Structure 1
Amino acid sequence: MVAALTVIGGLLWWWEKTLPEGRRRLMQDQLEHDKATIGQTLLNAAQDGTLTEEEIRTADKSGRWTVKRDTHEIRVSTRLVNPDHELQCWSFVLSLPLGTAPTLRTIQDDEGCPPLRTEASPSSPLPPG
């Protein structure tokens, strides 16, 4: 009986120690998957030489994105959930000109992120304020 309780206690201890780390790994994998999916969708959309807000909305359905365009690049910034269950800012930067082989950089970018509740993209479904 004592041996059985010891084994059960050991299993419970092991379960308690490994389960949170397993969840964390799953969350990290999900973050990497989300970044890759958004990036690839933006690259595919940019191959025709343009990147519309509708195409950005298709890439990032969260509605937590902004876009900044200048003469050198298009920067799409969004908030994704990290393994600590916090929103983390990522920017997907497409160099201009766009076309058949656009280039993309994905960077963690706390400076360029949209505010949580105020300045979503004008075509984003998030209400201001």
Structure 2
Amino acid sequence: MTGNNDRRPPAVRPLARLAGGAALLVILVVLAAVGGLVWWLQAELPAGADRTTRENDRLHAQSLARGLSASAHDGALTDEEISRTLRTEPWAVRRTDRAIRVVATTTPALGTEPAVCWAFTLGLPLGADTSARTALHPDSCPERRPEAG
């Protein structure tokens, strides 16, 4: 007796090593793929969330612009109509002989997001074909008005 307890024929041993090596290689490839997927998700998910937030803000601003345009169809746009349409505070209005410009701070969908300021410009004269142009407000947002009383 030689002390060798391996009862497999000598030709099977290299095949077992080859199979073990192949299994190890497969495990390493799977781990590398999972690691790459985790890295990609970590890089892409926040960017996707930012795009979604910006798109939601843009859609909200377009909705407000349509509301301001509808309020101006009768030929006038009063402060009460602006307030009722925007349903948000604060906002500011500047009236010139060529346009009405409303700047509003919109409330974000989630409380953790920063507020966004939009400028809505309606050209004069106001009427049935009036539409509001929408743009992000480049300056600071209007300040909240103090509560009365």
Pairwise TM-score range, normalised by the shorter structure = 0.7 to 0.9
**1:25 matched to which residue of 2?**
51
Compared CA separation, residues 68 and 112, structure 1 to 2 (3 A): farther
**What is the TM-score normalised by the length of structure 2?**
0.64
**2:142 matched to which residue of 1?**
114
8 A Cα contact 2:57 2:116, kept in partner: no
Q: Provide the C-alpha distance between the structure 1 equivalents of 2:39 and 2:53, rounded to a whole number of angstroms.
A: 22
Q: Provide the C-alpha distance between the structure 1 equivalents of 2:129 and 2:51, rounded to a whole number of angstroms.
A: 33
Q: Secondary structure at the match of 2:74?
A: coil
Q: How does 1:38-53 map to 2 (within 5 A)?
A: 38-53=64-79
- Identity, % of aligned positions: 32
Give CA deviations for 1:48-92 in whole Å, capped at 9, x if unaligned. Answer: 1122233222332231211222333221101346xxx54443211
8 A Cα contact 2:73 2:128, kept in partner: yes
Between the two structures, name the one with larger relative contact order (CA 8 Å, sep ≥ 6): 1
Count of aligned residue pairs for this structure pair? 117
Q: Which has the higher strand share?
A: 1
Unaligned runs of 5+ in 1: 121-125
Q: Provide the C-alpha distance between the structure 2 equivalents of 1:50 and 1:112, rounded to a whole number of angstroms.
A: 27
**What is the TM-score normalised by the length of structure 1?**
0.73
Unaligned runs of 5+ in 2: 1-26
Q: Which has the higher helix share?
A: 2
Amino acid in the other structure paired with 1:107 = A
Amino acid in the other structure paired with 2:130 = P
**2:95 matched to which residue of 1?**
69
